[in-house]
Amino acid sequence: MHIKINNYRKKKTLHRRYRHVSGLAQSELVLHNNPVLPLIDFSAFVSKDETNHYPHAIIEKLANACEHVGFFYAIGHGISNELLLRTLSVTRQLFDLDLKIKNQYASRLFVNSSNINYQSGGLSRGYQSIGENVTNSRRDRHEGFDLYRELDSNHPLRLQFNEKNLINKTLPDYREMAIGWNPWPKELPLFRETITEYTTVMLQAGARVMRAIALSLNLPLNYFESTFNDSFWVIRCIRYPPVSQNEIQSPEYGEGCGEHSDYGWLTFVNQDLDSHNCLHVRTNDRSKATYISADPIVVEEQIALTCNIGDIIAFITKNKYRSTRHCVVSPVKPARSRISTPFFFEPNLDVKLRINETSPECYYGEYLINKIFDNYICYKHKYDKQNLAHLDESVSRIEMAHAKRCCFNFCKDFKEFATRGSVLDLAIGIVIGTAFTNVVQSLVDDIITPPLGLLLGGVDFANLTIKMKNFVYTSQPPVVVRYGKFIQSCLALLIIAMALFCIIKAINHLYKIAAKKKEKKETDGNIQVTEEVKVLREIRDLLAGKSSVAFTHI
């Protein structure tokens, strides 16, 4: 199946305002203060009947949203609130499992696995720990559990696959990804049941939106039907753990998920209703990176799904419809972890497409698998068994490099701390204190206690002991209490205490004198001479002058 469009609609003028939710004020579509995405009702597009009348206003609104934003809120999608919330709940239960259990389903275990044809996993399917996903060369702060379409046993792609064709190839045939099986966790049987139900209704919702998009491009209602009737859908179950403020910036780790665009037809984001200011959508201000926050909303008791168009729609419309870049910011403590289960509505794997006019044709499966290889640490290595056998060692080296970097930062911080003036003063004080202690100890041992012992009848304080006669052993000296040395230590303590008392007393006295001088100076400076004082001083000076003149004439 080839995707080609020659007669899509001409560009329309953007509607400047939308009313999105009952009770909310109107807002500009492109905003920086209170951004809101367009709200579109797809309930009219449940039917494939091309003779039906479809609301022109909704089609125009969708066209404007795809041209200028690339994101919108979808209602009338046909999915119950109960199922959306249950999907989030079982996903949270999945990530609450012990790490050892989750690692049993790690996607890295199935790279080049000899059991790839069996229901034990498959390429890129399964659990990824925090940091295994990479976006823009930085590790993402989230856990993931990826689920892909499982082909039936008699599916043509499964029948065509030949594992021997993969030998000595640096890039696997995309069919290896297609024939894999999801490693469903046996500890949580409700998870598989819920995801299966979730997938069925999400495929129906994707078909509704694609019919509306076809009409928005002046194409027949079912124009794209043959490109997704065998959709190779993808579900990413994701947990974004909360981070503290000092963890937000890191040279190794980026955001919860770094800025990117999605690959296929559409993405539906089902997220915790309390996850605010996490999903950031880049605006159409191309001069600088500005974002709006696509927070979850509920419209007339119906959960709206955040929907965005993917790269394939941008390719076939020559970027008339935008595949908008977006990112996920980790929640900040004390907020709880954010759960999200985005559903990627993808084309069939054997759909042929061109990324641009000069690129060769390729299957969507080839395009998808190259994208996957760019986003996972375990696929950064050359695709051969010898290198991938050492994947765990490689991950360990990454962790070791991170530990070395942390150690270097610690040493750098300690150097800055140690070279501060206050620390040097403290070190000088310790040296002087140690020397002073030695002087006092010598004063007690060599100057004070010898004459004191002489006055007491020649007592040697250093050897004053009490022998514990009941505890005498043949193999070792008797146990004694050396109270003489204790007396010497008490004398040393008394002298040190007296010396410190005198020093502190003197310092406090000097502080008081300095404080009084400062207070007197401030008081003298604050005295204001009144007019009356000035007049009295002038009279005094005049009288003094007259007295001096009379005196000289006497």
Structure tokens at 284: 């159409």
- 210 close to 347: Cβ distance less than 8 angstroms: no
pLDDT of residue 193: 96
* Domains (range + CATH), the chain: 17-388 (2.60.120.330), 421-526 (1.10.1200.120)
Instruction: Give the pLDDT mean for 166-171.
Output: 45
pLDDT of residue 2: 60
pLDDT at 64 over 90: yes
Helices (H), 217-270: 225-228
List CB contacts of 267: < 8 A, sequence separation 6 or more.
Answer: 307, 308, 310, 342, 343, 344, 345
Dihedral, 313, 19, 300, 208 alpha carbons, nearest 10: -20
Instruction: Give the pLDDT mean for 151-177.
Output: 65
pLDDT of residue 31: 31
Structure tokens at 315: 């390719």
pLDDT tens profile 130-155:
888 888 888 889 999 999 999 888 88
Question: 3-class DSSP state for residue 148?
Answer: strand
- 346 close to 233: Cβ distance less than 8 angstroms: yes
Residue 326 bridge partners (DSSP): 260, 281
Model pTM score: 0.63
- 280 close to 293: Cβ distance less than 8 angstroms: yes
Instruction: Give the pLDDT mean for 438-452.
Output: 77
pLDDT tens profile 366-398:
888 877 776 665 555 444 444 444 444 444 444
- CA gap 252, 249 in Å, rounded: 9
Instruction: Give the pLDDT mean for 72-80.
Output: 96
pLDDT tens profile 470-506:
554 455 566 677 777 788 788 778 887 887 788 888 8
Residue 17 bridge partners (DSSP): 28
pLDDT of residue 236: 95
Structure tokens at 65: 């949203």
62: Cα within 13 Å, side-chain hemisphere? 27
